[in-house]
């Protein structure tokens, strides 16, 4: 019965591993049957559905300044999906980090400043000012993503507003293209 001993040890290791993966103890330990006219054994089944998130449907944003035309503003809607019951936080960082509410786009030897606002709804809600690199968490309550069975959104459910002020910024900038890259980090709360 040496093979039987190895099988039992392997099953016990699998139960311990499954318990470690799920982060909780299983209800009952597996029980083995006994020899007889019938034999009954039991085993627990554990299925882990982790907190998962997805950000997609992002598009590049291009702003074009017309002198004396005022501030330049663009809005970008996108999708944030999460497994049901999972709330998320968001942080937005830049390749030119500032750690402030003022982001920088770099040109040939100079820069222009802009701000970013976030809204966890596509219409009719309130914009939240973004500080570069800081986490937005909806007052520690988290945000709710789309949560259909297939990751993604039927329609976008979040948006960014990017504003470059004219006064003392765009009106003082040398002609040229100013670039920055934003990284959106969505994490389960």
CATH number at residue 152: 2.60.40
Q: How many domains does the chain have?
A: 2
pLDDT digits (tens, 9 = 90+) for 113-164: 999 999 999 987 799 999 999 999 999 999 999 999 999 999 999 999 999 9
Reported as a pLDDT band with limits 50, 70 and 90, residue 44 is very high
| Judgement on whether residues 63 and 125 belong to the same structural domain of the protein | yes
pLDDT digits (tens, 9 = 90+) for 85-127: 999 999 999 999 999 999 999 999 899 999 999 999 998 779 9
58: domain range? 53-188
| Judgement on whether residues 6 and 20 belong to the same structural domain of the protein | yes
Which DSSP string corresponds to 108-146? Answer: SS-EEEEEEEEESSSSSS--EEPPTTPEE-TTTT-EEPB
Reported as a pLDDT band with limits 50, 70 and 90, residue 15 is very low
| Judgement on whether residues 1 and 17 belong to the same structural domain of the protein | yes
What dihedral do alpha carbons 110, 77, 67, 167 form, nearest 10°?
Answer: -60
| Judgement on whether residues 81 and 130 belong to the same structural domain of the protein | yes
| Judgement on whether residues 137 and 175 belong to the same structural domain of the protein | yes
| Judgement on whether residues 58 and 32 belong to the same structural domain of the protein | no
| Judgement on whether residues 132 and 150 belong to the same structural domain of the protein | yes
């Amino acid at each position: 019965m040496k093979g039987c001993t190895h099988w039992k040890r392997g099953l016990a290791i699998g139960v311990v591993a499954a318990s470690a993966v799920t982060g909780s103890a299983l209800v009952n330990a597996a029980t083995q049957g006994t020899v007889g006219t019938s034999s009954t054994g039991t085993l627990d089944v554990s299925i882990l559905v982790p907190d998962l998130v997805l950000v997609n449907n992002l598009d590049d944003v291009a702003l074009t300044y017309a002198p004396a035309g005022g501030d330049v503003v663009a809005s970008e809607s996108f999708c944030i999906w999460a497994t049901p019951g999972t709330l998320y936080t968001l942080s937005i960082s830049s390749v030119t980090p500032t750690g402030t509410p003022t982001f920088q786009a770099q040109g040939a030897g100079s820069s222009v400043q802009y701000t970013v606002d976030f809204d966890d709804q596509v219409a009719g809600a309130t914009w939240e000012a973004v500080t570069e690199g800081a986490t937005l968490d909806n007052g520690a309550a988290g945000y709710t993503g789309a949560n259909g069975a297939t990751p993604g959104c039927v329609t976008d459910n979040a948006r960014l507003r990017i504003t470059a002020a004219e006064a003392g910024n765009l009106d003082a900038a040398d002609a040229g293209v100013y670039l920055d890259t934003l990284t959106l980090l969505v994490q389960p709360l």
